[in-house]
Amino acid sequence: MKKLIINRQRIVIRRADIPEGRFRAAFLTDLHNACNPDETRRIMGALRHVKPDLILCGGDMLTAHPGETAVPARDFMAGLAEEYTVIAAYGNHEYRAFVYPEVYGSLYDDYTEPLKAAGVRFLDNADVRLHPGGVPLRVIGYSAPRKYYRRFHHTAMRTSELSGRFGAVRSDEVTVLLAHNPYYYRTYERYGADLTLCGHYHGGVMQIGRNHGLISPDFRLFPENAHGMLREKENSGAHVFVGAGMGEHTIPFRVFNPREIAVFDFVTGKDAKIPRGFSETM
């Protein structure tokens, strides 16, 4: 339940119209307020060890329940923003706190407004462009409508759901898509971002093999997309990674399924090569 691992991944992008460079991004998702002072110190210590250039948050950092407080997640995120560039997408919990204030009160504003003032960049169907390590990077945050989170009926998602909102992926920049729900990973692959980062499934409660889990939040048994890199094709623009998350919700336990910080080493350029020791497995 409490074990925390660092999952290192390497993304090599060999395209002539992207300059040579490298940068490191840490991915955190599904914290669900599981950040007491001891846990926060442990997470911050792990991040200081890996020294990311930026932090990407995949959503559900808080828990949206009537009467729930935003304080644990808000304070944690504010601490991140003091040391790092932090970019955050919305999960289903942030989304419903925003859409249903009559149910959740001021939870959404209590969480987002202080963090915006602290420098956290929230991407609600929006994007931002940066240049970590001199590499042109576009980060897109996709907030899926409620219909894509139904538990017993899955609405089909067309690629135009993404291309219509965000336009086509460009070859002269690295594109990272934050899309909380991994059920639609094949749609994300077709959209073609260099890396899509998902969460939501919490590793499937119990991790089985490379990508399978025991059960998903929509109550599918043995989902094939519960955690890990779903496809690992250099130069394909089709990397999709599902984070195992850092907290629990709905099914509040973990079996052989440690909490996870994912760290991505990006290497770019026409003849990009991996420096020795740059992306060691921990």
In contact, 207 and 213? CB cutoff 8 Å: yes
The domain spans of the chain are 4-268
Where do the H-state alpha helices sit in 134-258?
Answer: 160-166, 185-191
pLDDT tens across 24-73, in order?
A: 999 999 999 988 899 999 999 999 999 999 999 999 999 998 888 999 99
In this structure, what DSSP letter does residue 215 have? Answer: B
Residue type, 176: V
From CA 184, how far away is CA 6, in angstroms rounded? Answer: 25
C-alpha distances (whole Å) from 14 to each of 190, 216, 274 are: 19, 35, 11
Q: How far is CA 136 from the centre of its chain?
A: 19
As to burial, measured by CB atoms within 10 angstroms (0-12 exposed, 13-18 middle, 19+ buried), residue 124 is middle
Cβ atoms within 10 A of the Cβ of 281, count?
Answer: 8
User: DSSP letter string over 75-86?
Assistant: HHHHHHHHHS-E
User: DSSP letter string over 248-264?
Assistant: --SS---BS--EEEEEE
Show the low-confidence residues of the chain (pLDDT under 70).
1, 231-237, 274-282
pTM of the model: 0.93
- Sole residue written with tokens 């808000």: 74
Cβ atoms within 10 A of the Cβ of 156, count?
Answer: 8
C-alpha distances (whole Å) from 224 to each of 206, 210, 227 are: 12, 9, 8
CATH homologous superfamily, domain 4-268: Metallo-dependent phosphatases (3.60.21.10)
Cβ atoms within 10 A of the Cβ of 110, count?
Answer: 17
Q: For residue 282, what pLDDT is reported?
A: 31
In this structure, what DSSP letter does residue 272 have? Answer: -
In this structure, what DSSP letter does residue 154 have? Answer: P
